[in-house]
Amino acid sequence: MKQDEQLLDWIQLINTENIGPVTFYKLLGRHQTAAAALDELGGNPRFKIFPRELARREVELASSKNIRIIPRTSELYPQALRHIDDAPPLLYAAGNVELLNRPVSLSIVGARNASVNGRKTASRIAYDLTNSGVLIISGMARGIDGAAHKGAMYANAQNGPTLAVLGTGADIVYPAENQFLYNQIISQGVVVSEFPLGTQPQSGNFPRRNRIVSALSLGTLVVEATMHSGSLITARLALEQGKDVFAIPGSPQDARALGPNKLIKDGATLAENAADILEVLSLNNQKQIIQYVDKLQKNVDIPQEQISDDVMPAEKSSVIDCLNSEGVYVDEIIRSSGLGASEVSLELLKLEMEGRIERQPGNKVALIK
């Protein structure tokens, strides 16, 4: 009951007029609790306190829609978000909330009016990265975002996970044409938002959304973007957060290539495929990734709820024992090893980072002689 009251306090405080994440944390630091901060603000005409009854209604509505409200104090709250000064005090999440703390992740962003080739490229890279154990994060917009989510979900025998960060409430589908995509993401992955339920799309919400997209990822890939695109905001935020930035080059005659080309000139990594991205991620984040893989395999120090049913089967064989120098399909490795798709993907990523295997066309891998 106490925890429920604290959650209501937090909902009230963050939804009070003129209170954003930075001010929220300053008030929390000064008063220790949101309840005490609300007491102080109650006498200040500058702040209009969000009604307690509406906070209760928010919790009830979230419950009725199977949406979790996750405060920053929760173990479910993404560790990656804790490192930014304006981290959302609350996250609304629908779907597999365990994915919020997957450290092996990449965001893919780009133009809404993307070209056919741009969408195909985003989808293919998302597919290959997901098969390699990388969680794909995007914003569920038209164009590149949607293509990235779809590519990710088609991976792992059409059961790949993905994470969508919305610029609306977690219960609002925007654009409306993405209703099927939204439902599929919730089924296979997770949808998150910092905005209260029912929040409709507003232009100012999407740049705010972008800081979450970049913060949750090890790096950001920009596929197509004009010079004034929100995707470049995401790339800039990623750089400020110390993350890797990748870009797909394009023709200088195409306005959608100007953004990625400029990023490459400014030092972003030129990427043409998933292998280019995996190479950089493995170099810059090898310790973090390998530790995560080892913990998954040994079932050490990772809460049980973070391990899906197919990760720890009763009888397992070594992935490397299923490989040869001619090449083996990933699906065959899964069947032969007795391991789940998630564990095979992570083990293959580790072997690839160690330089022991190479990727081949058609979702095959081979031992390097």
Classify 225 as helix, strand or coil. coil
116, 232: one domain:
yes
Check residue 287 and give its pLDDT.
54
178, 262: one domain:
yes
60, 206: one domain:
no
Residue 2 lies in a domain: yes
- The number of distinct structural domains making up the chain is 3
Give the pLDDT band (50/70/90) at residue 286.
Answer: low
146, 234: one domain:
yes
pLDDT one-digit tens code per residue, 21-80: 999 999 999 999 999 999 988 877 788 899 999 999 999 999 999 999 999 999 999 999
Q: b/e string for 82-105 if b means 16 or more Cβ within 10 A? A: eebebbbbbbbbbbbbebbbbbbb
Check residue 285 and give its pLDDT.
66
122, 188: one domain:
yes
Residue 196 has pLDDT above 80, yes or no: yes
Which of 64, 90, 109 represents a domain boundary (last residue)? 64
107, 252: one domain:
yes
Question: Which amino acid, 174?
Answer: Y
Distance of alpha carbon 66 from alpha carbon 308, whole angstroms:
20
Distance of alpha carbon 351 from alpha carbon 339, whole angstroms:
16
Range of the structural domain that residue 314 is part of: 300-367
Residue 60 lies in a domain: yes
| CATH code for the domain in which residue 330 is found | 1.10.10.10
Residue 303 has pLDDT above 50, yes or no: no
225, 111: one domain:
yes
Residue 294 lies in a domain: no
**Can you read off the two tokens belonging to residue 197?**
């339920």
pLDDT one-digit tens code per residue, 71-124: 999 999 999 999 888 999 999 999 999 999 998 899 999 999 999 999 999 999
153, 210: one domain:
yes
pLDDT one-digit tens code per residue, 203-233: 889 989 999 999 999 999 999 999 988 899 8
Check residue 341 and give its pLDDT.
64
pLDDT one-digit tens code per residue, 234-276: 998 888 888 999 999 999 999 999 999 999 999 999 999 999 9
CB distance 28 to 34 below 8 Å: yes
155, 267: one domain:
yes
Residue 82 lies in a domain: no
Check residue 218 and give its pLDDT.
93
Check residue 365 and give its pLDDT.
84
CB distance 15 to 25 below 8 Å: no
Check residue 318 and give its pLDDT.
80
DSSP annotation of 132 reads T
Q: What is the mean pLDDT of residues 176-187?
A: 96
Check residue 311 and give its pLDDT.
28
Which of 272, 291, 315 represents a domain boundary (last residue)? 272
Check residue 353 and give its pLDDT.
65
237, 147: one domain:
yes
Check residue 147 and give its pLDDT.
96
240, 156: one domain:
yes
pLDDT one-digit tens code per residue, 305-351: 332 332 223 334 688 888 888 888 877 787 777 776 656 777 777 78
**Can you read off the two tokens belonging to residue 117?**
């080739």
Residue 133 lies in a domain: yes
Q: Return left, alpha or beta for 242; rule: phi > 0 is left, psi -120 to 50 is alpha, else beta.
A: left
Q: How far is CA 226 from the centre of its chain?
A: 23
Check residue 299 and give its pLDDT.
43
177, 318: one domain:
no
Check residue 330 and give its pLDDT.
79
Which of 219, 252, 272 represents a domain boundary (last residue)? 272
Classify 162 as helix, strand or coil. strand
Check residue 2 and give its pLDDT.
54
> Which is it for the CA torsion 352, 353, 355, 359, positive or negative?
positive
- Write down the pTM of the prediction: 0.77
Residue 89 lies in a domain: no
What rounded mean pLDDT belongs to the chain?
Answer: 87
Residue 55 lies in a domain: yes
Overall size of the chain counted in residues: 369
